[in-house]
Amino acid sequence: MTGEDALILVVDDNEMNRDMLSRRLERQGYRPMLAEDGLQALEMVRAHSFDLILLDIMMPRLNGYQFLEQVKADAVLRHIPVIVISAVDDLDSVVKCIEMGAEDYLFKPFNPILLKARIGASLEKKRLLDQERQHHPATIQHENGTFADFFPQVTALSAGVVGLGSLPPEEAAHLLNDLFAAFDALAGDLYHAKLPGGLYLAVGGAPSPHENQAEAVAVLARGMRQQISGSITLQIGIHTGPAAGGLIGSAAPSYHLWGEALEVADRLRLAAPVGGLLVSAAAVEALAKYYTFADGGLIEGLPTYCVQP
């Protein structure tokens, strides 16, 4: 998906905000359309094929929560990624929107660099999922609308942000917002997902093939570690192995990956020293050009290697 063919809906009851976002999107090569409340936005998403929605929360007639609920309950519309941009900056609102299916959440006044990165990441993720749907004809879908695929070899990264509990909730939310935006930009076309508890997952080789999947994950890990400073640290685990994936969920199905590669990567993360990176023997060869390793011992019988400081 390129900037020229990405149609983005801006939903905000403040005319100044709509105009500012519209001009910014146009400068980045996107095609914006504007709605002044959730009700008008619902009419527009049913009449146009949008690639992304930028959504305010506090609006008349139909607020952002109500709009998000209706979109994600609609089988035709639920695949459209939604980034919430709101002055409601409490953690409860962030959690509520993410649980309802929002792709991301930015606080007003937003950082334009972060917004650009998150728009790019959301559009790329949608492109990959659209591509995945095209590669799987309807004949292989199950009765409940899901399908599953097997990937014989992918490289999975599981990362956990450590130290958030020592920060005030609002500061932690802002920090996690900024970190995940930077991680998304670094991940590029790798499958990536944000999980509860400050966890971040990235996979090379699924759902779309990647020529240098292990190296791409190694570059991501290095970039992620460079984003960390102060009292916040990362624990990272990386493993190469098989995985499966498919559309999961009945109300608003989304693409998920699971299997050995992800499970082992997460076990390695938990066993990694705070601030460290632990790699399985299956992944160490591809990562050797980026890191110097020491013997990490056995984790549940699995030989591991720890990245040298």
144 and 28 both lie in a single domain: no
Same domain, 104 and 199: no
State yes or no: pLDDT of 192 exceeds 80.
yes
Report d(CA 283, CA 264) in Å as an integer.
11
Same domain (yes/no): 151, 269 = yes
Same domain, 33 and 89: yes
Q: How far is it, in rounded angstroms, from Cα 255 to Cα 274?
A: 30
**What is the domain extent for residue 242?**
140-307
CA–CA distance, 83 with 55 (Å, rounded to integer): 6
Confidence of residue 149 (pLDDT cuts 50, 70, 90): confident
- Same domain for 84 and 202: no
Q: 72 near 78, Cβ under 8 Å?
A: yes
Q: For residue 299, which of 214, 238, 234, 258 has the smallest C-alpha distance?
A: 238
Question: Which of 12-21, 59-68, 294-303 is the least confident region?
Answer: 294-303
Boundary residue ending a domain (106, 132, 158): 132
* The pLDDT of residue 221: 92
Say yes or no: 97 and 207 in one domain. no
62 and 211 co-located in one domain? no
Residue 183 reports pLDDT greater than 90? yes
Mean pLDDT of 245-255: 70
Q: In whole angstroms, what is the distance from residue 154 CA to residue 261 CA?
A: 7
| CATH number of the domain within which 12 lies | 3.40.50.2300
CA distance 277 to 294: 11
Please give the residue that has the higher pLDDT: either 92 or 135: 92
Give the residue carrying structure tokens 């004949």. Answer: 139
Same domain, 42 and 181: no
What pLDDT, on the 0 to 100 scale, is given for residue 220?
93
Q: Which tens digit of pLDDT belongs to each residue from 256-279?
A: 888 889 999 999 999 998 888 999
Q: Give the CB-side neighbour count of residue 104, counting CA atoms within 13 A.
A: 32
Token pair belonging to 232:
């916040």
Q: Which two tokens stand for residue 14?
A: 């403040």
**Stretch 184-206: mean pLDDT:** 90
Asked whether residue 225 falls in the same domain as residue 285, the answer is yes
Residues 72 and 182 in one domain: no
CATH code of the domain containing 162: 3.30.70.1230
| Domains held by the chain: number | 2
The last residue of a domain, from among 97, 112, 132: 132
* Residues 148 and 110 grouped into a single domain: no
Domain endpoint, select from 75, 110, 132: 132
Indicate the range of 35-39, 62-66, 197-201, 206-210 predicted with least confidence.
Answer: 206-210
What percent of the chain has a predicted confidence (pLDDT) above 70? 90
Spatial distance between the Cα atoms of 303 and 305, rounded to a whole number of angstroms = 7
pLDDT bin (cut points 50, 70, 90) of residue 141 is very low
Answer yes or no: do 102 and 158 share one domain.
Answer: no
pLDDT at 286 over 80: no
Reply yes or no on whether the pLDDT at 185 is more than 80. yes
Residue 128 has pLDDT above 90, yes or no: no
